[in-house]
Amino acid sequence: MTVLAGFTPTEAGLLVVDAARAEAQRRRSPLLILNSATGSACADRGLATAADLHRLREHVAEAGIDAEVRQITQAVTASESLIHTAEEISAEIVVIGLRQRTRTGKFLMGSVAQDVLLHAPCDVLALRLPF
């Protein structure tokens, strides 16, 4: 069984990775970190650059844990990518971050967290982020 973390190239994204790393160590499970985006850079700020992914790998390696990092650049939605990957790898738990959004923002953009919480095939650890 694997711990799956959703990653965005932000400070909040690194907090999610740190929580997932701790969860993987506690469970003695492999860690898979997933960055997914729709492919439209102007519409999707969640797409990590090659430099972001390099820093992410270094960040995880500093903790002495082996992690696989995947990126999906042509996702329909980030939530679908997380759910599909969780099914594909038989994830034990999915780790995501929650951020405050307005009702209008939720209506217009949808809620990745809500979709993952409702449709993931396993438990979900949702972190309330301070940003």
Domains and their CATH numbers in the chain: 2-128 (3.40.50.620)
Alpha-carbon distance 62 to 60, whole Å?
5
At 65 the pLDDT is: 82
At 53 the pLDDT is: 96
At 110 the pLDDT is: 61
At 41 the pLDDT is: 52
- Identity of residue 74: Q
Query: H helices of 43-93, where?
Result: 50-62, 78-89
Alpha-carbon distance 86 to 49, whole Å?
23
Alpha-carbon distance 69 to 120, whole Å?
19
The pTM of this model reads 0.89
Per residue of the chain (131 residues), what is the pLDDT tens digit?
Answer: 999 999 999 999 999 999 999 999 999 999 999 999 876 655 567 889 999 999 999 999 988 888 999 999 888 888 999 999 999 999 999 999 987 766 655 554 468 888 999 999 999 999 998 86
